[in-house]
Amino acid sequence: MTHESQKFHYECVDCGRVFHDDSLRYLCPDCSRNQNPEEAPKGVLKVCYPYKEIKKKYTSFKALKATGFLDLYPVQSIESFPPLRVGQTPLYHISRLNGKLLDANLYLKDDSQNPTYSFKDRASALVAAFAKERNLNIIITASTGNAGSSLAGICASSGQKAIVLVPEKAPLAKLTQIIMYGAKIIPVKGTYDDAFDLSVKATEKFGWYNRNTAFNPLTIEGKKSVAFELFDQMGETIPDRIFVPVGDGVIISGVYKGFEDLLKMGFIDKMPVVVAVQSTGSDNLVRNTFSDTIEFHSSHTIADSISVDIPRNFFMARQYLQKYDGEILAVEDEAIMEASKQLSANTGLFSEPAAATAFAGYSYYHKNGKLPLRSKNIVLLTGSGLKDLKAVQQIISIPQAIHPDLSELQNLIS
């Protein structure tokens, strides 16, 4: 497909090579060649724009917003996006927890309000729009659940075909979503990495468009939309801290990329502090971010969406955290489940364990006096708790049934 003009180009995060085109690309061919499967993949590409030219067109953030930020996305038309409302999710200001007033401001960004109930819809929507403009009608992805259900739902709305490869032990609720959306679901014996590798081989063999995170650079471009929204919802100010759950490192890179775009456009003059939060059972990114040596361990955590042995976007995420003085934290699974319970009971927001991990990080900062008075703190809630009901069974207790008798009812509630 011939485009009216080149909107963007790619840069390799590792070697810095620039690709002066806006064609379909995945990884840097030099850095991704002969990868060691036991090491974090290299060659992830960053999408870049002619920021100086764009800045001349828009004198204000409001003017850029009025266009749907089109100049900062790798698509030609807003009409190319799927018809579902993706993004523009609520930002709630929470003033009390457990009955006590908070002395630092807490905001919850509820991305469970996306069409398939997860943050992943931001990436899927942009991937689908890019594919539509290039007449790529079949999109494949590997997923532990959320990315697959997201792609399936978005494709169902846009008339595209989704093929989703999942590890055979992926949560039933997420598999159910994929099937109900009409996608072709293919369980794969082994791990997410096995499904990922098979999807890449299928892309090479059949020419299907691949949505895989940390493989397709457009996934980060889709996820950066949350930064634009937060800046807008905060009255064109930046928060002091943003707590982000981390697995592969793609969501946190998307958050950084969005604010970095605003920085390069001159709409902000500094970056917010981004806190990367992982489970201690799957802490491969945070443990290695500021370390001189890199060593990955096998992961075991109840937060399946962020359970990652080898973070596929490790180098980009680490680069962002180091460049912009990000902070890192690992929390125990017990703290994650307690955070999920406290979040639900205090706010009415029921988040899956991966999302509650970010709130567990906030809770740690709050309890240890690490949040300055009147500071503005955002917790990114990335997915609904309804996606993984099995995970919370250990912290809930359903009472035995009573007879329809007032005295029995009174005994239980007194």
Beta carbons within 8 Å of 155's beta carbon, 6+ residues apart: 124, 128, 139, 161, 162, 181, 183
83-129 confidence digits (pLDDT tens): 999 999 999 999 999 999 999 999 999 999 999 999 999 999 999 99
Q: What is the pLDDT of residue 412?
A: 83
Nearest to 352 by CA among 386, 394, 393, 396: 386
Q: What is the pLDDT of residue 190?
A: 86
Residue 63 exposed, middle or buried by CB count within 10 Å (0-12, 13-18, 19+): exposed
Does pLDDT of 387 surpass 50? yes
Q: Decide if 362 contacts 94 (C-beta within 8 A).
A: no
The residue that leads in pLDDT, 303 or 329, is: 329
Does pLDDT of 193 surpass 90? no
Q: What is the mean pLDDT of residues 1-18?
A: 81
Written as one letter, the residue type at 22 is D
Does pLDDT of 13 surpass 60? yes
Token pair for residue 339? 């955070």
The residue that leads in pLDDT, 22 or 324, is: 324
47-89 confidence digits (pLDDT tens): 999 999 999 999 899 999 999 999 999 999 999 999 999 999 9
Q: What is the pLDDT of residue 317?
A: 97
Q: Which residue has the tokens 């991305």?
A: 111
Q: What is the mean pLDDT of residues 231-257?
A: 97
Token pair for residue 392? 């919370």
Q: Decide if 42 contacts 14 (C-beta within 8 A).
A: yes
307-338 confidence digits (pLDDT tens): 888 899 999 999 999 999 999 999 999 999 99
Q: Which residue has the tokens 């979503």?
A: 177
Q: What is the pLDDT of residue 146?
A: 84
Q: What is the pLDDT of residue 75?
A: 96
User: Beta strand 209-210 with 138-142: parallel, antiparallel or unpaired?
Assistant: parallel
Q: What is the mean pLDDT of residues 132-144?
A: 94
Q: Decide if 3 contacts 16 (C-beta within 8 A).
A: no
Does pLDDT of 1 surpass 50? no
Return the percentage of the chain with pLDDT > 70, whole number: 99
157-180 confidence digits (pLDDT tens): 999 999 999 988 777 777 888 999
Q: Compute how many other C-beta atoms are within 10 angstroms of the C-beta atom of residue 408.
A: 11
CA distance 45 to 294: 21
- At 5, the pLDDT band (50, 70, 90 cuts) reads low
Token pair for residue 284? 């491969």
Number of H helices, E strands in the chain: 14, 13
- Sorted by where each starts, the structural domains of the chain and their CATH numbers stand as 91-116+219-395 (3.40.50.1100)
Strand, coil or helix: 93: strand
**Residue 178: HSE in the Cβ half-sphere, 13 Å Cα cutoff:** 26
Q: Decide if 100 contacts 170 (C-beta within 8 A).
A: no
Q: What is the mean pLDDT of residues 197-225?
A: 96
Strand extents, DSSP E, 334-383: 376-381
Does pLDDT of 42 surpass 90? yes
Q: What is the dihedral of CA 27, 28, 29, 31, to 10 degrees?
A: -110
Q: What are phi and psi of 161, to 5 degrees?
A: -100, 130
Return the percentage of the chain with pLDDT > 90, whole number: 78
- At 2, the pLDDT band (50, 70, 90 cuts) reads very low
Q: What is the pLDDT of residue 238?
A: 96
CA distance 102 to 80: 43
Supply the pTM of this predicted model: 0.94
- At 38, the pLDDT band (50, 70, 90 cuts) reads confident
